[in-house]
Structure 1
Amino acid sequence: MSDQAVRGTTTGGRRAVGPVPDRALLRATALAHLARFGTTRVGLTQVLERRVQRWARRAVEGGELSEEVESRAAPLGAVIAQVVADMVELGAVDDAAFAGSRARSLTRSGRSRRAVQAHLAARGVEAETVGAVLDDALGERGQDGQDVELAAALIFARRRRAGPFAPAREGDEDAVPGDEVAVRRRKVLDAMARAGFGRATAEAALDMDPEEAEDRIIRMKSA
């Protein structure tokens, strides 16, 4: 196959491939991604690896031997690592800042501390960083942390229209039968357990007075 075909000119019906991604191209890809999205070191590495993988796939589809493509792509792992290190040095990638922002956002949408921890770990944030960030952003596992967790559980309950946010509460004229209330409560408690909320927190959220529930949510979101 000619260099012309590899570098992107369509020849004999072959698909344009483009040049092998070099440091300049990968750096441009990183900057374009970071201009739109926050991410971690692991996340940016994956973005750049996918960029290389797309080139490799097109090269093979364009007629290059897979062994040759792999040989040309192999050195790019080190190049990607260098580009990611550059972005960290520039401050464009900061795992702790990303984790703190994401932790607060997820909590305010009704995610439990356990769910937030799993989310950050899945994005490659180191366990030590996750622990420190959660204590800083959500409060340590004392009273402050419990208050934030309870507020997140209340947001979860509000989305489910459960507990203080149920459309008909016991004692109302249009309240649903007691057995149906019990079944609904069990289902919500099960859902909250799957979402990572402890039983005591879930029950406290469901049993709370509606006015206090709204007040706790407002305080947490405005903190």
Structure 2
Amino acid sequence: MAEKRVSNDKNGSQSSRQDRGAQRKYKLPTEERLTRAAIHYLDRYASSQENLRNVLSRKVKRAATANGRSPDEFRDIVDQVVEKCRRAGMVDDRAYAETKLVGLRRRGRSKRQIEAMLAAKGVDRDLIATVLDRDDTSELEAARNYARRRRLGPWRSPGQRQERREKDMAALCRAGYPYEIARKVIDAADDGEATSAAL
């Protein structure tokens, strides 16, 4: 059984987080409250419209359930707030997808992984395809970035390299790279060769 985390409250008595959560009073969602919540979220995180809708819907569900109301009553308010954020330029699916693409490519993500991640955030499939078509990072270059970050293949110590070859190849393939690209990166003679092969 999970151990309850205990802390002292303002009066010096002990209470668990679970108890404090049960005692918390949730105010019913209004457009103003949800707009503040959306702005607070968007100040900290980039987001697609659908992801913002999901974040606000979870907040609405907690508050509505705590007050004995149906979350469906507040669906229109969530849609209005998301639309207001879109019109204000605070959420832009194209800009979000392009920004995520650059960051994920730098970290060595394959096109297949990026497509899945953006789809999971609610970005339209046609928009994802458009953004990926404009990507000027080759899969070989991205695979090399991935291998370098994970210290695979040429970035391993010489003693481990041959014995870990198959596992390194498998890691690149699981990351969404074709076998031929994985082989080129892992079998490069050294990290300099891997780098020049990717360019």
Normalising TM by the smaller chain, what interval?
0.7 to 0.9
Determine what percentage of the aligned residue pairs are the same residue.
33
Q: TM-score, normalised by structure 1?
A: 0.72
Which amino acid in 2 is paired with 1:190? A
Tell me, in whole angstroms, the C-alpha distance in 2 between the residues paired with 1:48 and 1:80.
7
Tell me, in whole angstroms, the C-alpha distance in 2 between the residues paired with 1:162 and 1:32.
39
Q: Are 2:161 and 1:191 aligned?
A: no
Structure 1, unpaired ranges of 5+: 1-13, 60-65, 140-144, 169-174
Q: Between Structure 1 and Structure 2, whose CA radius of gyration is higher?
A: 1
- The equivalent of 2:9 in structure 1 is none
Structure 2, unpaired ranges of 5+: 1-21
- The equivalent of 1:105 in structure 2 is 103
Q: 1:119 aligns with which of 99, 117, 131?
A: 117
Which amino acid in 1 is paired with 2:148? R
Tell me, in whole angstroms, the C-alpha distance in 2 between the residues paired with 1:57 and 1:79.
16
Which amino acid in 2 is paired with 1:110? G
Q: 2:83 aligns with which of 82, 85, 110?
A: 85
- The equivalent of 2:28 in structure 1 is 20
SS of residue paired to 1:75: helix
- The equivalent of 1:34 in structure 2 is 42
Cα gap change, 1:55/1:164 in structure 2, threshold over 3 Å: closer, same or farther?
same
Deviation digits for residues 58-86 of structure 1 (CA, Å, limit 9, x no counterpart): 32xxxxxx4xx12xx43310111111011
SS of residue paired to 2:27: coil
Tell me, in whole angstroms, the C-alpha distance in 1 between the residues paired with 2:169 and 2:26.
54
SS of residue paired to 1:74: helix
Q: How far did 1:114 drift?
A: 0.7
Q: Are 2:151 and 1:153 aligned?
A: no
Q: How far did 1:149 drift?
A: 1.1
Q: How far did 1:47 drift?
A: 1.1
Q: 1:167 aligns with which of 143, 152, 157?
A: 157
- The equivalent of 1:213 in structure 2 is 194
Which amino acid in 2 is paired with 1:111? R
Cα gap change, 1:187/1:44 in structure 2, threshold over 3 Å: closer, same or farther?
same
Q: How far did 1:166 drift?
A: 2.2
Between the two proteins, the alignment pairs up a number of residues equal to 177
Greater displacement, 154-163 / 100-109? 154-163
Deviation digits for residues 169-207 of structure 1 (CA, Å, limit 9, x no counterpart): xxxxxx46xxx81x5211111111111000111111112
